[in-house]
Structure 1
């Protein structure tokens, strides 16, 4: 495995989306966002050919430059995807790496008055931006979305909320079954706040923003707040935590979180109808996932099956791994989506 970058058979174009809906967001985060668009081998040879497009969402704390991070003995996802297309293992597709980072570490790809309108940004700005500039097959039947962890969450909820835009999804260990993956953390976060920040998230955030590097426990606290900002913020931007000072659930706030749990959503007829309309639903997770997102994957599968989605429209696998280091799974889903989105 080369320790430096490999030559690409296709190519990437790097552009900037000037977002109207992110302008003036509550966090003051940039409204100009980078985007990287992968054009597969052969794109420049046949100017009449059009391609399906697959959008890829990142996990919590992910930003677009991190796609190219290189660790020993592993290739980054853009190279893995390019190599797959170069080997002819799937019909060629355009792959869109878009950015939905926030200064809280992520947006969960939802619209929120506390973070910004990232769902609208993706569906109503990024997608048209790509369709206008590249030879996509510009219809939901030929457009998919995939992601891992929070990105897998984004793939699930985006396809359910906007089946008019996306016609297939792939989720790798996506956040789901909140009762299992999130609720057990509430006492831990309450204890951290009590012991180090006087029980105050306001104090934590103020101190965190002054640090040159995060301390132990900072990212876990920030992540919980980012979720609350996405799931349980009022119209004026006030963020409500789903637990009290003792770590006990606050029922009405927790319900707001559950309303955005993919497992709960998929059990409702309007979202079940959206799932049935998709050309493909890929679900996977590692059997040793540290956040129990393998159980979330199984629970989401149960709801997808109950909605009437069956193989070959549906793919499910629990594989032998944890939550991290599973980028080798992404090209498998990319190929599967490309096959289903290609006319």
Structure 2
């Protein structure tokens, strides 16, 4: 396998979108965002043909530029996705790679007074922008969303919130069953914060003054701070931690706010939207460090409980941890594209 890029059978186009919804966001992050759009082989040969679309969103601390990162003996997902279409394994589709980076590493693809309107940005700006410029099939039954980790979370919640746009999803180790994937992180953060007198902003000042991720605390505290900005920011944008940073005692009211965003708990409130889905891919590694395989199973069962047909769900657990599972993405892409093809 070559350690450098290959020639695409289709074409990957780079754009910059100027977002009005992200302009003047709370973190002063850029409102102009990169968007990558892949068109499959043959797109230019049939000018009257329209295509289904798959939106791909990144995990926490991810941005679209990272889709070009290369690991030894593996190809980046845009290349393996291209191979899916070049081989005829799946019917052709347009694939859209969306950026939702923030100063704190991500957005969970939610609208939040602490982060900005990233859910609306995705649904009300990026989707119409793509539909206006590419020959898409503009209907939820022909539009899917896919992601891993926090991207998998976004893939789970977006069709629940916007069934008028998305009719299929693929989630790889997506954040779910919050008491397992987040709660165990709280005491770790309390220990880390002892070095900062319980003040997470003192840690943030330290973090931004040096090379990132050079201390054990960095990823744990960044993740908790980012989630608090997404799930429990006050109206003025200030995040509330779901635990006392000194004693570790759970702040029940704040924790309950987090739980309302748990996809497993969201499912009963969005039963009609879930029952309308044409295809749902759910997977996770059985050694996932955040027990997101358990969350995956709970989400699958929550879908069944609200009446989603087992026939539209692909559920699979496999031997892996949380990282290095990018080889799963083209498998899901192929399966999803067959489901949303006209």
The two structures have a TM-score, normalised by structure 1, of: 0.98
Partner Cα distance (2:140, 2:212) in 1: 42
**1:322 aligns to what?**
321
Deviation at 1:137, TM superposition (A): 0.4
- Counterpart in the other structure of 2:43: 43
Partner of 1:171: 171
Deviation of residue 248 (structure 1)?
A: 2.1
Deviations for 1:171-201, whole angstroms, at most 9, x for unmatched residues?
000000001111011011011011x211101
Question: Which residue number in structure 1 is paired with residue 17 of structure 2?
Answer: 17
Match of 1:297 in 2: 296
Contact 1:187 1:248 in 2 (8 A): no
The alpha carbon displacement at 1:310 in A equals: 2.1
Residue 258 of structure 1: aligned partner: 259
What's the CA shift for 1:320? 1.4
2:171 is paired with a residue whose SS is strand
Distance across 2 between alignment mates of 1:69 and 1:10? 19
Between the aligned partners of 1:153 and 1:141, the Cα distance in structure 2 is 20
Paired residue secondary structure (2:9): coil
Partner of 2:229: 229
> Residue 246 of structure 1 corresponds to which residue in structure 2?
247
Distance in structure 2 (CA, Å) of the matches to 1:308 and 1:315:
15
- Tell whether the 8 Å contact from 1:191 to 1:246 is kept in structure 2 after alignment: no
Measured against aligned partners, the alpha-carbon deviations of 1:201-228 in whole angstroms (never above 9, x if no partner) come to 1111122122233322212211110000
Tell me the secondary structure at the aligned position of residue 193 of structure 2: helix
1:198 aligns with 2:183: no
Asked if structure 1 preserves the Cα contact closer than 8 Å seen for 2:304 and 2:310, the reply is no
Q: Distance in 2 between matches of 1:55 and 1:248?
A: 39
**Of 327-336 and 209-218, the range deviating more from structure 2:** 209-218
What TM-score results when the alignment is normalised by the length of structure 2?
A: 0.98
**Contact 2:275–2:309, Cα closer than 8 Å, also in 1:** no
Output the CA distance in 1 between the equivalents of 2:31 and 2:204: 22
Structure 2 counterpart SS, 1:90: coil
Kept in 2: contact 1:186–1:248 (CA 8 A): no
Distance 1:209 1:233 in 2: 21
Give deviations 1:113-132, integer Å, cap 9, x for gaps: 11110000000000000000
Tell me what 1:277 maps to: 276
Offset at residue 242 of structure 1 (A):
0.3
Contact 1:59 1:148 in 2 (8 A): yes
Q: Distance in 1 between matches of 2:299 and 2:261?
A: 13
Unaligned runs of 5+ in 2: none
**Per-residue deviation at 1:234?**
1.2
Q: Indicate the RMSD between aligned Cα atoms, in angstroms.
A: 0.9
Does the 8 Å contact 1:67/1:77 carry over to 2? yes
Residue aligning to 1:98 = 98
**Secondary structure of 2:16 counterpart:** strand
User: How many matched pairs?
Assistant: 340
CA contact (8 A) 1:34 1:99 kept: yes
**Conserved? CA contact 2:188–2:220, under 8 Å:** no
Give the corresponding residue for 1:134.
Answer: 134
- In the alignment, the residues of structure 2 paired with residue 312 and residue 197 of structure 1 have an alpha-carbon distance, to the nearest angstrom, of 51
Q: Secondary structure at the match of 1:281?
A: strand
What is residue 211 of structure 1 aligned with on the other side? 210
Instruction: Note the residue ranges of structure 1 that are not aligned, 5 or more in a row.
Output: none
Do the aligned residues in 1 keep the contact of 2:185 with 2:220 (CA within 8 Å)? Answer: no
Aligned residue number for residue 149 of structure 2: 149
Question: Would you identify which runs of 4 or more consecutive aligned residues in structure 1 move more than 4 Å?
Answer: none
In structure 1, the residue corresponding to 2:311 is in which secondary structure?
A: coil
Q: Is the 8 A contact 1:188 1:247 kept in 2?
A: no
- The answer to whether the aligner puts 1:160 opposite 2:164 as a matched pair is no
- 3-state SS of the aligned residue for 1:183? coil
Provide the rounded CA distance (Å) in 2 between the counterparts of 1:94 and 1:85: 10
